[in-house]
């Protein structure tokens, strides 16, 4: 019996520019791509051939990929990176300014070092026992690596449980997990095979991205096998082992930003997408849906609830008890034009639910099937799937004709009425049979092998329909499911969560995991979607948390038929309305954070340890988060609490939003936490943009002001915010401006500067600056004039005339 060669011997056989090839006498090949000083890619081909499809994930610094994908060996978008190459008898060593990769000729084992300061740190090594599958197990893809003591693993997108994924295992297989447990349920809705490894003792780390569309699994140390030592592993059901190593010295945020850059520029969405979005299934399920929808506008006006949009649930498409995408139920909505206009007249845009599966009795099913637009079985019949309470078939977005059909339906069924946006829902593409076939842009393949690709192409088609209908407006669209690159198209949320205090706590961690995976524009169904109606205290606490997230939508389908709405508990309505107004006060800061996400790939939400990697106390898996680099938010996630204990990261002072009181960092404080005053602390040296205009429902107003916390030691606090019309594409041609604010600190005085640059949408000439009242140093203005200096409620209010 012949022995099994599980450690092939490699040799360097190709070297052209930034692409290297190592080949073994067995025919297997390892390809290396030096893409940047901090990014090196490894492609492992057991038989020397590519088996996976093209990639739709890689779009370095770009807003999109071609609809048919990108060739796997396409290196466009990457510059010529300088590196050194050493090819010795036992190993190949590739070294950039930041990364050193060593590949052993015997077995192809890789080890990685990252330069931090003047020291190279070994951060990752392949397991020395069968790191890869060179064809001697099965047809799946494997990658086993050694696990070091004390490592933290953050990312993998939207996962249940703790933010640190260490010692857990996760399945990446998109499903409709309605009513999931935010602490334990796995898998969930999204497919993002990227995570950051952080090694606190070395103050360095790296990101790993596996570019695959396959269902896959990550074991982060839960599995133990004495034959192999401590390890973790990745397994994909098919395709190729194609992974990107991203160095992250000094801070885990570096890998997040570079991964976001690598996979495309986050969408710059309209400002109204940051407003409160109403939603419930109950209204559109009602037989008098148009009337019920009108009641929502009446209640917003009655209670002065600020609102910018409403997510129109799928009941508007119903025939009987079932839902039929792009159908309008004219019994429920007898006058669609009047209905849409009644919302627009109050400044509320509609975001309509659309689904990618046609039920077998859909009015258009026969036409669509005969046109070849559905995922099909091997015999050409529809590939039937379970969809809600019926059987149907998914549209096949790998067929260009399907994309055109979809765009036409979006435009003719929704956008022409004045519907502003699309809500891409139930788009997990749960296709499990190996017999289902996708058209594959002319190269058919088993549809279950790239389900997440269908989701991505659906988003892209919806976005393109909106662009074609209104080319001068920024598209706004939402998707529940998605994968790597979804941030180029949509805002998202954590799906159909279950109403509980536990969900509130772990949804916070889920949002941080998404942000650390390149998806910042996200949120949760406030109050909980599935299960019992939230009790008053839970509802209030959830609103007080949700106002800080990029997506703020109260959405529900409660067991008792009740609806989560701002006025659902009369005794709390005023407090909820005030919290929503606090949200609108913060929109300029949130808008700036989304601009920084779009322009500089900065995550909007951050775990404390990611922003303060040098503070060991921030490594704890807490219930706090940073909103940008400047605002620490500490939600109350337990019942019966009137105060909140919060750790303040060391190295800077912190200022209470509500009292202006200053606290030193490196300590734990207990602060009052009434419903209407969530715990918010501003970091020293920060500038936070505000809207201080008095706003009422249907009457938006905007006036800029800034909170500024001067540095204690001599130095300059700097910040500002982006300004444009909030909705059009005119920013692309330069119709955008910026406020720049700084306060230079000396021991004796403060020097204030407020300037405008670019094309501002209004001519506001006076700006209020709020600084902690305890700082009474005299103020001078550079390039402006100090018009007022008053103190109230813990804050010193400066009025500056801008020249």
Question: What are the tens digits of pLDDT across the range 51-69?
Answer: 989 999 999 999 999 999 9
Element (H, E) at 235: strand 231-236
Sign of CA dihedral 54, 58, 59, 64: positive
Distance (Å) of CA 478 to CA 128, 232, 463, 624: 44, 34, 10, 26
Query: Which residue range is the domain that position 727 belongs to?
Result: 703-802
619 lies in the same domain as 716 = no
Distance (Å) of CA 700 to CA 154, 293, 346, 692, 729: 39, 21, 10, 12, 21
- Backbone angles phi and psi of 647, in degrees to 5: -85, 135
Sign of CA dihedral 616, 622, 624, 626: positive
Digit-coded pLDDT (tens) for 183-236:
999 999 999 999 999 999 999 999 999 999 999 999 999 999 999 999 999 999
Contacts of 790 (CB under 8 A, 6+ apart): 796, 797
Q: pLDDT confidence of 33, banded at 50, 70, 90? A: very high
In this predicted structure, the answer to whether residue 471 has a pLDDT above a threshold of 90 is yes
In this predicted structure, the answer to whether residue 1 has a pLDDT above a threshold of 50 is no
417 lies in the same domain as 313 = yes
| 473 domain residue, yes or no | yes
Q: Which residue among 524, 555, 588 closes a domain?
A: 588
Tell me the residue ranges of DSSP E strands in 37-147.
39-45, 84-87, 91-95, 99-104, 110-116, 119-125, 141-146
In this predicted structure, the answer to whether residue 783 has a pLDDT above a threshold of 90 is no
Q: Percentages helix, strand, coil for the chain, rounded to the nearest 5?
A: 20, 35, 45
566 lies in the same domain as 651 = no
| 441 domain residue, yes or no | no
Q: Which residue among 129, 144, 167 closes a domain?
A: 129
333 lies in the same domain as 473 = yes
In this predicted structure, the answer to whether residue 751 has a pLDDT above a threshold of 50 is yes
Concatenating the DSSP letter of every residue in 635-697 gives ---STT-SEEEEEE-TTSEEEETTT--EEESSEEEEEE--TTS-EEEEETT-EEEEE-S--BT
Q: In what order do the strands lie in the sheet with 19-24?
A: 10-16, 19-24, 29-36, 39-45, 241-247, 204-210, 194-199, 152-155
Exposure on the CB side of residue 533, measured as CA atoms within 13 A:
11
| 8 domain residue, yes or no | yes
611 lies in the same domain as 573 = no
HEC string of 138-191 equals: CCCEEEEEECCCCCEEEECCCCCCCCCCCCCEEEECCCCCCCECCCCCCCCCEE
pLDDT of residue 4: 47
Q: Exposure string (b/e) for 20-36, b if CB count within 10 Å is 16 or more?
A: bbbbbeeebbbbbbbbb
HEC string of 333-352 equals: CCCHHHHHHHHHCCCCEEEE
Under 8 Å between Cβ of 483 and 491: no
User: What is the mean predicted confidence (pLDDT) over 424-442?
Assistant: 96
- Backbone angles phi and psi of 106, in degrees to 5: -85, 100
pLDDT of residue 54: 95
Number of domains in the chain: 4
User: What is the mean predicted confidence (pLDDT) over 319-348?
Assistant: 97
pLDDT of residue 5: 52
Q: Exposure string (b/e) for 209-222, b if CB count within 10 Å is 16 or more?
A: bbbbbbbbbbbbbe
CATH number at residue 7: 2.60.40.1760
Separation CA 148–CA 402 (nearest Å): 48
566 lies in the same domain as 426 = yes
pLDDT of residue 18: 96
Least confident piece of the model among 421-435, 497-511, 657-671, 770-784: 770-784
673 lies in the same domain as 794 = no
Tell me what the pLDDT averaged over the chain comes to: 96
Separation CA 588–CA 691 (nearest Å): 6
Contacts of 511 (CB under 8 A, 6+ apart): 494, 522, 523, 524, 549, 605, 625
pLDDT of residue 141: 96
CATH number at residue 622: 2.60.40.1180
In this predicted structure, the answer to whether residue 3 has a pLDDT above a threshold of 60 is no
Exposure on the CB side of residue 302, measured as CA atoms within 13 A:
10
Digit-coded pLDDT (tens) for 123-146:
999 999 999 998 778 889 999 999
User: What is the mean predicted confidence (pLDDT) over 700-724?
Assistant: 96
User: What is the mean predicted confidence (pLDDT) over 441-452?
Assistant: 95
Please name the residue ranges forming H helices in 479-572.
Answer: 501-515, 536-546
Query: What is the CA 410 to chain-centroid distance, rounded?
Result: 25
Query: Which has the closest alpha carbon to 480: 711, 769, 176, 101?
Result: 176
Separation CA 583–CA 587 (nearest Å): 6
pTM of the model: 0.97
| 237 domain residue, yes or no | no
551 lies in the same domain as 454 = yes
| 315 domain residue, yes or no | yes
Residue predicted with more confidence, 762 or 4:
762
Under 8 Å between Cβ of 618 and 609: yes
Separation CA 141–CA 156 (nearest Å): 18
The encoded tokens of residue 1 equal 């019996």
Under 8 Å between Cβ of 719 and 695: no
Separation CA 622–CA 618 (nearest Å): 8
618 lies in the same domain as 669 = yes
| 381 domain residue, yes or no | no
725 lies in the same domain as 646 = no
In this predicted structure, the answer to whether residue 348 has a pLDDT above a threshold of 50 is yes
Percent of the chain topping pLDDT 70: 99
| 261 domain residue, yes or no | no
Contacts of 602 (CB under 8 A, 6+ apart): 253, 257, 593, 596, 628
Digit-coded pLDDT (tens) for 149-160:
999 999 999 999
Q: Which residues pair with 664 in a beta bridge?
A: 653
Digit-coded pLDDT (tens) for 605-640:
999 999 999 999 999 999 999 999 999 999 999 999
3-state class (DSSP) for residue 254: helix
Separation CA 182–CA 9 (nearest Å): 46
Separation CA 694–CA 702 (nearest Å): 8
Count other C-beta atoms under 10 Å from residue 369's C-beta.
18
User: What is the mean predicted confidence (pLDDT) over 724-749?
Assistant: 96
| 202 domain residue, yes or no | no
Query: What is the CA 778 to chain-centroid distance, rounded?
Result: 43
Concatenating the DSSP letter of every residue in 689-724 gives EEE-S--BTTB----EEEEE---SSSEEEEEEEEES
pLDDT of residue 6: 66
Separation CA 713–CA 273 (nearest Å): 39
Our separate counts of H helices and E strands in the chain read 11, 54
pLDDT of residue 44: 97
Element (H, E) at 289: helix 289-303
3-state class (DSSP) for residue 128: coil
472 lies in the same domain as 620 = no
Q: Is the N-terminal amide bond of 187 cis, ω within 30° of 0?
A: yes
Separation CA 36–CA 246 (nearest Å): 9
User: What is the mean predicted confidence (pLDDT) over 698-716?
Assistant: 95
443 burial type by CB count under 10 A (0-12 exposed, 13-18 middle, 19+ buried): exposed
303 lies in the same domain as 451 = yes
């Amino acid at each position: 019996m012949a022995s099994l060669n599980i450690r092939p011997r490699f040799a360097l056989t190709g070297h052209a520019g930034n692409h290297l090839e190592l080949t073994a006498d067995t025919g297997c090949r390892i390809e290396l791509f030096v893409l940047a000083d901090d990014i090196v890619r490894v492609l492992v081909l057991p038989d020397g051939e590519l088996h996976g499809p093209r990639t739709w994930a890689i779009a370095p610094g770009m807003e999109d990929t071609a609809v048919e994908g990108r060739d796997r060996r396409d290196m466009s978008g990457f510059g010529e990176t300088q590196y050194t190459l050493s090819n010795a008898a036992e190993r190949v060593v590739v070294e950039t300014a930041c990364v050193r990769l060593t590949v052993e000729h015997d077995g192809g084992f890789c080890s990685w070092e990252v330069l931090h300061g003047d020291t190279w740190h070994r951060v990752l090594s392949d397991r020395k026992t069968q790191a890869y599958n060179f064809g001697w197990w099965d047809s799946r893809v494997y990658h086993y690596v050694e696990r070091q003591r004390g490592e933290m693993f953050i990312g993998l997108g939207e996962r249940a449980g703790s933010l640190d994924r260490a010692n857990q295992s996760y399945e990446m297989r998109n499903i409709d997990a309605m009513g999931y447990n935010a602490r334990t349920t796995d898998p969930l809705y999204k497919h993002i095979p990227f995570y950051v490894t952080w090694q606190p003792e070395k103050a360095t780390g790296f990101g790993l991205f596996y570019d695959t569309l396959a269902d896959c699994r990550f074991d982060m140390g839960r599995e133990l096998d004495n034959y192999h030592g401590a390890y973790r592993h990745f397994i994909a059901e098919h395709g190729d082992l194609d992974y990107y190593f991203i160095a992250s010295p000094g801070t885990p945020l570096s890998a997040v930003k570079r991964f976001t850059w690598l996979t495309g520029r986050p969408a710059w969405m309209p400002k109204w997408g940051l407003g409160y979005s109403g939603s419930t299934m109950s209204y559109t399920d009602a037989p008098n849906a148009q009337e019920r929808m009108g009641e929502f506008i009446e209640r917003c006006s009655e209670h002065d609830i600020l609102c910018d949009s409403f997510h129109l649930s799928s009941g508007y498409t119903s025939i009987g008890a079932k839902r039929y995408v792009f159908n309008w139920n004219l019994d429920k909505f007898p006058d669609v034009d009047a209905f849409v206009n009644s919302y627009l007249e109050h400044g509320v845009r509609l975001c309509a639910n659309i689904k990618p599966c046609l039920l077998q009795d859909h009015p258009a099913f026969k036409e669509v099937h005969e046109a070849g637009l559905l995922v099909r079985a091997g015999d050409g019949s529809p590939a039937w799937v379970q969809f809600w309470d019926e059987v149907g078939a998914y549209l096949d977005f790998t067929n260009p004709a399907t994309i055109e059909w979809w765009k036409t339906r979006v435009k003719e069924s929704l956008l022409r009425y004045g519907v502003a946006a699309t809500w891409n829902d139930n788009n997990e593409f749960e296709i499990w049979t190996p017999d289902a076939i996708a058209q594959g842009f002319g190269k058919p393949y088993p549809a279950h092998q790239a389900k997440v690709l269908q989701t991505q192409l659906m988003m892209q088609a919806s976005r393109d329909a909106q662009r074609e209908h209104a080319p001068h407006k920024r598209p706004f669209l939402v998707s529940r499911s998605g994968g790597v690159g979804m941030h180029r198209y949509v805002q998202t949320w954590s799906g159909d969560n279950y109403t509980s205090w536990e969900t509130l706590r772990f949804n916070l961690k889920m949002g941080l995991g998404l942000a650390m995976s390149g998806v910042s524009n996200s949120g949760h169904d406030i109050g909980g979607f599935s299960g019992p109606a939230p009790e008053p205290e839970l509802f209030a606490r959830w609103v007080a948390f949700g106002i800080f997230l990029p997506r703020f939508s109260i959405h529900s389908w409660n067991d008792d038929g009740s609806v989560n709405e701002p006025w659902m508990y009369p005794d709390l309505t005023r407090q909820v309305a005030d919290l929503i107004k606090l949200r609108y006060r913060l929109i300029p800061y949130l808008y700036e954070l989304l601009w920084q996400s779009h322009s500089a790939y900065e995550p909007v939400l951050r775990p404390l340890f990611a922003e303060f990697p040098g503070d060991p106390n921030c490594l704890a898996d807490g219930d706090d988060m940073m909103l940008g680099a400047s605002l620490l938010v500490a939600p109350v996630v337990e019942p019966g609490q009137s105060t909140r204990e919060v750790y303040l990261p060391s190295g800077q002072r912190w200022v209470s939003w509500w009292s202006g009181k200053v606290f030193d960092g490196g300590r734990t404080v207990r602060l009052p936490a009434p419903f209407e005053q969530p715990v918010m602390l501003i970091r020293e040296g920060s500038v936070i943009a505000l809207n201080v205009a008095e706003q009422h429902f249907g009457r938006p107003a905007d006036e800029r002001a800034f909170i500024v916390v001067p540095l204690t030691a001599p130095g300059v606090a700097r910040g500002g915010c982006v300004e444009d019309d909030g909705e059009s594409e005119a920013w692309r041609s330069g119709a955008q401006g910026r406020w720049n604010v700084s306060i230079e600190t000396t021991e004796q005085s403060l020097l204030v500067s407020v300037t405008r640059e670019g094309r501002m949408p209004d001519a506001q000439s006076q700006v209020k600056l709020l600084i902690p009242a305890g700082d009474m140093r005299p103020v001078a203005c550079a390039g402006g004039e100090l018009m007022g200096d008053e103190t109230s409620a813990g804050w010193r209010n400066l009025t500056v005339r801008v020249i």
